[in-house]
A and B are shown apart, each in its own frame.
Chain A
Amino acid sequence: MKIIENIGKFVIKLFSNLGKFFLFTLFFFKYLFKPKFYLKNNLSYFVNIFISSIPIIALTGIFSGMVLALQSYTGFSRFSAESAIPNIVVLTLTRELGPVLTGLMISARVGSSIAAEIATMRVTEQIDALKTLNTNYYNYLVTPRVLSLTLALPIFVTLVDFIGVMGGYIVSVHRLGFNDNLYLLNTIDFLSLGDYLSGIFKAFVFGFIISIVSCYCGLFSDKGAFGVGSATTNAVVISSVLILSSNYFLTELFF
């Protein structure tokens, strides 16, 4: 009986949280178009996210491209299709690996920091203080973070795509003996605008998912140090799972 009771509690909590999250997202859109818009706050948050994430983005891009070139060579050399490596590298990066890996890395780097910061603000009554100062926390906390990350992720993905292709180029030319001009020519010729845009569309969606989930986990965290820890973990785990699962449906959309 205890097991059934626990399952029941879990299901009720799950649906209650889903409902709360849905309402939270609706309120975000409602306040997005309200006149109180703190431009300075939005801009500074965007710059902050951007600068702090560049190193991790560059590392993600370069190593993904390098590994992709090496692994593709291992497979394609078995049926003498080495010439397809530039095409595979650019296609895989722009359509798939760029947005997904960037999304996962940013969820760990930025999503966790958003959730921890907001959860700490909740625990230390700073959210209540905002209300007493007649400041809407959607406008002041949620909107800048969601807008900044939703707009920043496509830029990050573009950087990962570019740096990844360069990583593939370095390995292919200097390690596998490809002709450098031919590699770049193959890459540019093969890449279509649709490939790039499908990745960018995914980036917008992933940026929105990471930021809205992280804000929600922070704002509705439990109290105390345990609450802050759980909010951070939940933000990263839920964002990552949503990125991976929504990626399938987005891929179907552009298939």
Chain B
Amino acid sequence: MKIEIKNLKKKFNENFVLKDISLTIEKNKSTIILGESGCGKSVLIKTIYKLFGFDSGSILYDGKTEVDIDKFSMLFQYGALFDSLKISENIAFTDFINNKTNFERKVLSLMNDVGLNKSIFDRYPSELSGGMKKRAALARALYKNPKVIFLDEPTTGLDPINSDKINDLILEVITKRRITAVSITHDIKSAIKTGDKYYFICDGIIQDKGDCKNILKTKNKFFKSFITGAKY
């Protein structure tokens, strides 16, 4: 699914978080959204997902303003697994709450795809490490075979080795399943590894964009400052 965003504005109370955002998310490509903390990246993907409304501008999904959000999935920053449910029930959430019982095989297959051992099938989220929770959350996001997956800082809180494993996994999953991916990250290494196109947001507007493989060659002073950590 191709998603086109034009002149999007979104405010909370009187404060504009997104001032003028225009970007295109290409079908079956991985788009990375970069930016400082609090610049509105999460608000942007939740607005695209229709979890939030917006004040002006437009979002077109394959050229239409309406979309069935059942085609979307999201991997939340800290997994957002339901604490009171087992891992298997979390992954097959929609089937589980509708009292369908034949989800075991599909859950086990997804657990295998994301590198989770079947021994945690009946465990609760509180019993898992951060990396395992992320994998379980990714399995839940993939359960409904989405056309677009939104990844909100998928490597946050993970050590470099686990971050790299999660990046490999994301790359494998989106390539194998031919899913359109939209990721938010602070991590330049992850962006280069998993992304096709990037957009850099600063102060509510797109400051820079381009191919992920050219991130380090950027001429934009704001983005350069973001990458190097130096003040402009």
A residues within 8 Å of B by Cβ? 38-41, 121, 124-126, 128-129, 131-135, 140
Contact = CB atoms under 8 A, between A and B. Distances in A.
B46 A38 contact: no
Given A40-B99, A124-B78, A125-B78, A134 B94 contact: yes
Nearest to A129: B80
B49 A125 contact: no
A206 to B, nearest CB: 26
B97 interface: yes
B99 A129 contact: no
B51 interface: yes
Contact of B72 (A129, A132, A135): A132
B93 A132 contact: no
Q: DSSP majority for the A interface?
A: helix
B97 A126 contact: no
Interface string B71-111: 01110111011110000000001100111000000000000
Nearest to A44: B84
B128 interface: no
Interface size class of B (residues with CB under 8 A): 20 to 34
Contacts of A128: 46, 51, 74, 76, 80
Interface of B: 46, 49, 51, 69-70, 72-74, 76-78, 80-83, 93-94, 97-99, 140, 144
A127 B38 CA distance: 20
B74 A129 contact: yes
Contacts, number: 45
14 contacts: A40-B97, A40-B99, A121-B82, A124-B78, A125-B76, A125-B78, A126-B80, A128-B46, A128-B51, A129-B82, A132-B69, A134-B94, A135-B93, A135-B94
A41 B97 contact: yes
A221 to B, nearest CB: 16
B86 to A, nearest CB: 14
B194 to A, nearest CB: 21
Contacts of A133: 93-94, 140, 144
Contacts of B83: 126
Contacts of B80: 124-126, 128-129
A31 to B, nearest CB: 15
B98 to A, nearest CB: 8
A121 B97 CA distance: 17
Contacts of B98: 38
Nearest to A127: B80
A134 B70 contact: yes
A135 B96 CA distance: 12
Contacts of B144: 133
Contacts of A41: 97
A39 B69 CA distance: 25
Contacts of B70: 134
A131 B83 CA distance: 16
A214 B83 CA distance: 19
Contacts of B74: 128-129, 132
A38 B96 CA distance: 10
A41 B84 CA distance: 11
By CB atoms of chain B within 10 A, which of A38, A124, A133 has the most? A133
A135 B82 CA distance: 13
Given A126-B81, A129-B81, A131-B51, 6 more contacts: A39-B99, A125-B77, A125-B78, A128-B80, A133-B144, A134-B70
A134 B70 CA distance: 7
A183 B141 CA distance: 65
A65 B193 CA distance: 70
B97 A140 contact: yes
B41 to A, nearest CB: 14
Contacts of B49: 132
Top-5 shortest CB links A-B: A129-B80, A125-B80, A132-B74, A125-B76, A126-B80
A210 B144 CA distance: 36
Contacts of A39: 99
Given A131-B51, A132-B51, A126 B82 contact: yes
Contacts of B97: 38, 40-41, 135, 140
A199 B155 CA distance: 55
Contacts of B77: 125
A126 B82 CA distance: 7
A40 B84 CA distance: 14
Contacts of A129: 74, 76, 80-82
